[in-house]
């Protein structure tokens, strides 16, 4: 085989393997396993323990969308409310071919813990539609969004369930969502979704909030390990969507050496550091990193195991497995994605002394600024960008320290500490509210 052919075969083999891993690791099983691992450190009643495992409501909808050529296609979507004890449920909406009910259940459960950990007055939810948004025209995407939003009307409101962007959705999708809800009730309701464009009630600083929060957590962990110079820290980031690209840009702006980035088709690596802004512009212009001159081309598996100090998985679930965890060279992992690490991989990483800053802490910056957006909308009183960044930073550092204290108290890893801090807050609220009737 020629070099090029071999490369193609390897890329295909890698994609098949990744798909197999994705199939093997059911995200809801992962979420439940993490829950079991954490809950044993807590003294809560068996009834409450059991209650918290279940999603409160699960909504499935099959709906038609008219394509531009006049044909009609059916789509399936979900919205799951995991828990609503601390307040309205909160969580994003995902447009992806990998969406299924168990994935949405897992993501909703993680939202419950994420909101509880960072002290927000919210429960957890998630929604998704099985669709590759790249295959839709802008008009078809708008139709799909509006029809899905309209199907969710019985479930959502600013006081019951507040959606936001996630994988495959963006501020424009949120604008259509907000408009559909507003047209239905007859007046404008900005607080129905967060992550909207700023000119219709979105918050300054929301778009980059998740990525910034990831880097704030990375800094807290690095500071803990002793004094360091930012340019000596080599950061590799898997995923160049909203989370990955903003984490890369923010890390780069703070002087960290971003050595690797990737998107779904693979990435680029340069041990001396990449020009992150140039990589962003290249990806936007060409749709992939082919022909990028500032780094060598690598595949996604190579990115995960590349030579770096900090690895930021910011793509999707199930990326760090028992197969690649033994080969990871980073000494710190900061989870930008939800659920990127399997419990088996967690065990290997813990064993190897590699610290993992878990998703519900590391990527909470998004929902923190979503909360700020919702508060601003409800009060019709808007903050400037500096204020948003300052409050985000304060919330992230506080949550990091709280998690670390819990880790020390119980002598557990950061994931277990974050989960048990969150579970305790929700369990205490359930206990004091009691079970109805």
Active site residue 90: no
The yes or no reply on residue 164 touching ligand GLU (CB under 6 A) is yes
Q: How far is the CB of 194 from ligand GLU (least distance, A)?
A: 5
Which part of the chain contacts ligand GLU (CB under 6 A), choosing from 196-204, 269-277, 318-326, 359-367?
Answer: 359-367
Nearer to ligand GLU by C-beta: 91 or 244? 91
- Residue from 55, 77, 91, 318 touching ligand GLU (CB under 6 A): that is 91
Cβ at position 298, least distance to ligand GLU in Å: 27
Stretch near ligand GLU under the rule CB under 6 A, chosen from 257-265, 303-311, 322-330, 360-368: 360-368
- Residue 169 contacts ligand GLU per CB under 6 A: no
Q: Output the smallest distance, CB 227 to ligand GLU, in A.
A: 32
In terms of CB distance, is 48 or 131 closer to ligand GLU? 131
205 binds ligand GLU (CB under 6 A): no
- When the beta carbons of 179 and 373 are compared against ligand GLU, the nearer one is 373
Q: Does 216 bind ligand GLU (CB under 6 A)?
A: no
Contact region for ligand GLU (CB under 6 A) — 24-32, 37-45, 88-96, 131-139? Answer: 88-96
Of residues 122 and 269, the one with the C-beta less far from ligand GLU: 122
* Three-state helix/strand/coil letters over the chain: CCHHHHHHHHHHHHHHHHHHHHHHCCHHHHHHHHHHHHHCCCCCCHHHHHHCCCCCEEEEEEEEEECCCCCEEEEEEEEEEEECCCCCEEEEEEEECCCCHHHHHHHHHHHHHHHHHCCCCCEEEEEEEECCHHHCCHHHHHHHHHHHHHHHCCCCECCCEEEEECCCCCHHHHHHHHHHHHHHHCCCCHHHCCCCCHHHCCCCCCCCHHHHHHHHHHHHHHHHCCCCCHHHCEEEEECCCHHHHHHHHHHHHCCCEEEEEEECCEEEECCCCCCHHHHHHHHHHHCCCCCCCCCEEECHHHHHCCCCCEEEECCCCCCECCCCHHHCCCCEEECCCCCCECHHHHHHHHHCCCEEECHHHHCCHHHHHHHHHHHHHHHCCCCCHHHHHHHHHHHHHHHHHHHHHHHHHHCCCHHHHHHHHHHHHHHHHHHHHCCCC
Give how many residues touch ligand GLU by CB under 6 A.
Answer: 11
Near ligand GLU by CB under 6 A, which window of 14-22, 184-192, 345-353, 366-374?
A: 366-374
Instruction: Give the span between the Cα atoms of 63 and 76, in whole angstroms.
Output: 6
Q: How far apart are CA 51 and CA 311, in angstroms?
A: 35
How far apart are the C-alpha atoms of 17 and 94, rounded to whole Å? Answer: 24
**Shortest distance, CB of residue 190 to ligand GLU, whole angstroms?**
15
Closest to 399 measured CA to CA, from 368, 430, 371: 368
Do β-strands 355-357 and 332-334 pair in parallel, antiparallel, or remain unpaired? parallel
Residue nearest to ligand GLU (CB): 92
For residue 166, state whether it binds ligand GLU (rule: CB under 6 A). Answer: yes
Its sign, for the CA torsion 26, 338, 157, 207, is: negative
Contact call for residue 174 and ligand GLU (CB under 6 A) = no
* Cβ pair 350, 374 in contact under 8 A: no
Residue 295 or residue 358: which is nearer to ligand GLU going by CB? 358
196 makes contact with ligand GLU (CB under 6 A): no
> Does position 399 bind ligand GLU by CB under 6 A?
no
Q: Does 171 bind ligand GLU (CB under 6 A)?
A: no
> Exactly one of 90, 126, 196, 424 is catalytic; which is it?
126
Which is nearer to ligand GLU, 192 or 222 (by Cβ)?
192
Angle at 139 between CA 137 and CA 140, to 5 degrees: 65
338 binds ligand GLU (CB under 6 A): yes
Q: Give the relative orientation of helices 343-351 and 27-39 as an angle to the nearest 10 degrees.
A: 50
Instruction: Tell me the window of 89-97, 258-266, 318-326, 422-430 that interacts with ligand GLU (CB under 6 A).
Output: 89-97
Q: Does 81 contact ligand GLU by CB under 6 A?
A: no
Q: Does 92 bind ligand GLU (CB under 6 A)?
A: yes
The residue among 92 and 190 lying less far from ligand GLU, judged by its C-beta, is 92
| 194 touches ligand GLU by CB under 6 A | yes
List 367, 392, 406, 423, residue binding ligand GLU (CB under 6 A):
367
To the nearest whole angstrom, how small is the minimum distance from the Cβ of residue 163 to ligand GLU?
7
Pick between residue 110 and residue 292 the one whose CB is nearest to ligand GLU. 110
Distance between CA 21 and CA 319 in Å, rounded? 8
When asked if residue 123 is in the footprint of ligand GLU (CB under 6 A), the reply is: no
Which residues contribute to the site for ligand GLU (CB under 6 A)?
90-92, 164, 166, 194, 338, 363, 366-367, 370
- List active site positions: 126
């Amino acid at each position: 085989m020629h070099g090029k052919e071999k490369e193609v075969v390897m890329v295909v083999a890698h994609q098949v393997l990744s798909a197999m891993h994705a199939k093997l690791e059911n995200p809801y099983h992962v979420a439940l396993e993490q829950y079991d691992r954490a809950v044993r450190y807590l003294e809560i009643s068996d009834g409450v323990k059991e209650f918290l495992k279940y999603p409160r409501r699960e909504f499935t909808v099959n709906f038609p969308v008219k394509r531009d050529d006049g044909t009609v296609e059916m789509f399936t979507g979900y919205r799951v409310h995991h828990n609503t004890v601390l307040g309205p449920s909160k969580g994003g909406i995902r447009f992806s071919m990998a969406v299924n009910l168990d994935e949405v259940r897992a993501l909703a459960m993680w939202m419950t813990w994420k909101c509880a950990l960072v002290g927000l007055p919210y429960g957890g939810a998630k929604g998704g539609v099985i669709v590759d948004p790249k295959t839709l025209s802008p008009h078809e995407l708008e139709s799909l969004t509006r029809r899905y939003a309209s199907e969710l009307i019985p479930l959502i409101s600013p006081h019951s369930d507040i959606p936001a962007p996630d994988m495959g959705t963006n501020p424009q999708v949120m604008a259509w969502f907000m408009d559909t809800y507003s047209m239905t009730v007859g007046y404008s309701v900005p607080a129905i979704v967060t992550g909207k464009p700023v000119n219709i009630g979105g918050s300054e600083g929301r778009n980059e909030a998740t990525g910034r929060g990831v880097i704030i957590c990375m800094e807290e962990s690095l500071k803990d390990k002793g004094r360091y110079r930012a340019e000596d820290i080599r950061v590799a980031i898997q995923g160049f969507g909203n989370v990955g690209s903003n984490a890369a840009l923010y890390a780069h702006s703070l002087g960290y050496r971003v050595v690797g980035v990737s998107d779904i088709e693979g990435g680029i690596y340069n041990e001396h550091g990449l020009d992150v802004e140039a990589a962003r512009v290249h990806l936007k212009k060409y749709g992939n990193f082919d022909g990028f001159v500032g780094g060598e081309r690598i595949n996604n598996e190579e990115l995960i195991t590349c030579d770096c100090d900090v690895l930021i998985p910011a793509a999707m679930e199930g990326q760090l497995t028992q197969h690649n965890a033994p080969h990871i060279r980073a000494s710190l992992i900061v989870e930008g994605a939800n659920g990127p690490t399997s419990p088996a991989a967690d065990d290997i990483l813990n064993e190897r002394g590699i610290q993992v800053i878990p998703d519900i802490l590391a990527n909470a910056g998004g929902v923190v600024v979503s909360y700020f957006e919702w508060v601003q909308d409800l009060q019709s009183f808007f903050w400037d960008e500096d204020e948003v960044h300052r409050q985000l930073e304060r919330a992230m550092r506080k949550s990091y320290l709280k998690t670390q204290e819990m880790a020390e108290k119980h002598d557990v890893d950061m994931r277990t500490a974050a989960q048990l801090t969150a579970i305790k807050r929700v369990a205490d609220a359930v206990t004091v509210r009691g079970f109805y009737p």
